[in-house]
Amino acid sequence: MSSTPTPHDHHLPYAEADLGEVDGASFSQAAAPDGRSVRVTGTCPRCHGSTGTEFRRGNPGTGTKGLFDRLSGRSGGTARSESEPEPLHGEVHFCECGHGHPSIPAEVRFVGCGASWRIAP
Amino acid sequence: MSARSDRRWAELARDLEFTRLPELRRQAEGWRTGLTGLTALLAVLVLLKGRDSLDQLPDWAGNTATALLALAFLLLVAGSLLAVRAAHGVPGEEILLGGQALRRWTEREVGRVTRALARASGCCAVGLVLIVGALGLAWATTEAAPSHLVRVRTGSTDLCGELVRADQAQLVLRTGPDRAERTVPQVDVAGLEAVGSCPK
């Protein structure tokens, strides 16, 4: 007997709620064909809306790499920095269901219900 | 790490997506400024200064001073490059722009910049000490420039050196790198003139 998915609660007020670690069964990540970004998708544990976040590759700032880093082949380029965890389990995720929940501030980077969570490994 | 802090890091990472080109341009401008200054320093030291001031030193002192200056120069160049790297970084490193990835990168970066600055200041300090050592060596060992230089023409050859004394019978000159005294009988002198320097 399959359970019916909980519908997206559009009336849930916006709140910056930290949900802690959640089960990762409903989340997945996929790299773009050009390798320039990774998209994590799933269902928001709070408002149950479909959420997706794209992590693009980019220069984080004016970084330095030592000579020994370069000699050992860890000089950056498009390669990920050494031992960098995957975004699915290494990042804090924010609801980006795209719905402007009630009381949402005018200037928010993540348009959704305001929830944040980590995905259990 | 608090939820508020996590959100702030994530917002910073999201904003970086929109400032990638200005950031790279700023980095390039910093490197351009640093390398231009370094090039000017090289030009001044190599093309204008030359090695004239070391020529009056004894060989061992001249060689030692040259080695000290060369090492100091290398250390100062390395220190300058390290300082530019600490200030402006090296283009090319990319990460996935997520809040936690940015936070981890920043923590590593703080360590790298700190080390680069410490090495830069160490190189510059040691370089300055070596320059002072070379100058001290030069001052201590530079021989006084000979005065009363004359060129004496005789029938067979020309002599150039410091005039020590002269009387009705002879001239005494101090000539050569060893400054040995040589005597020229007055009867052999065909000409005598003051000169500013003698050929090496």
Please tell me whether residues B57 and B116 are part of one structural domain.
Answer: yes
How many separate domains does chain A show? 1
This complex has an ipTM of 0.78
CB of B12 less than 8 A from some CB of A: no
Do the domain assignments include residue B46?
Answer: yes
Cα–Cα–Cα angle for B175, B177, B179, nearest 5°? Answer: 45
Question: pLDDT, tens digit, for every residue of A39-56?
Answer: 999 999 999 999 999 998
Model confidence pLDDT, tens digit, residues B144-187: 666 788 888 888 888 888 888 888 888 898 888 777 888 888 88
Interchain contact, B17 vs A61, CB within 8 Å: no
- Cβ(A13)–Cβ(A103) below 8 Å: yes
Instruction: Measure in Å the smallest separation between the Cα of B80 and chain A Cα atoms.
Output: 14
Digit-coded pLDDT (tens) for A66-121: 444 444 444 444 344 456 778 889 999 999 999 999 999 988 999 999 999 999 88
DSSP code, position B32: H
Q: Domain of A119? A: 11-56+86-121
Chain A contact for B89 (CB, 8 A cutoff): yes
Confidence (pLDDT) at A3: 66
* Any domain includes B77: yes
Please indicate whether, in this complex, the C-beta atoms of A77 and B92 are within 8 angstroms of each other: yes
CA–CA distance, B146 with B149 (Å, rounded to integer): 7
Reduce the DSSP state of residue A57 to 3 states and report it: strand
Predicted pLDDT at A67: 44
Together in a domain, B85 and B127:
yes
Pick the residue of A19, A92, A108 with the most B CBs within 10 A to test the interface with B by mutation: A92
Among residues A46, A58, A74, A22, the alpha carbon closest in space to that of B12 is found at A58
pLDDT at B23: 76
**pLDDT at A74 (0 to 100):** 45
Q: Is the pLDDT score of A65 beyond 50? A: no
N-term to C-term CA, chain B: 75
pLDDT band of residue B51 (cuts 50, 70, 90) is low
Q: Is residue B200 part of a domain?
A: no
Q: Lowest mean pLDDT: which of A19-33, B11-25, B160-174?
A: B11-25
The minimal CB distance from A56 to the residues B6, B97, B112 is found for: B97
Q: Which domain holds residue B165?
A: 149-194
pLDDT in tens, B88-139: 776 677 888 899 999 998 888 888 888 998 999 999 899 889 988 988 888 8
Using 50, 70 and 90 to split pLDDT, how confident is the model at B52? low
- Residue A64 near chain B (CB below 8 Å): yes
Per the domain annotation, does A78 fall within a domain?
no
Residues B120, B87, single domain; the answer is: yes
Judge if B186 and B132 occupy the same domain. no
Residue A22 forms part of a structural domain:
yes
- On whether both B63 and B104 belong to a single domain, the answer is yes
Count of domains in chain B? 2
Mean pLDDT of chain B: 83
Per the model's pLDDT, the better-predicted residue between B56 and A95 turns out to be: A95
Residue B29 scores a pLDDT above 70: yes
Residue A40 lies in a domain: yes
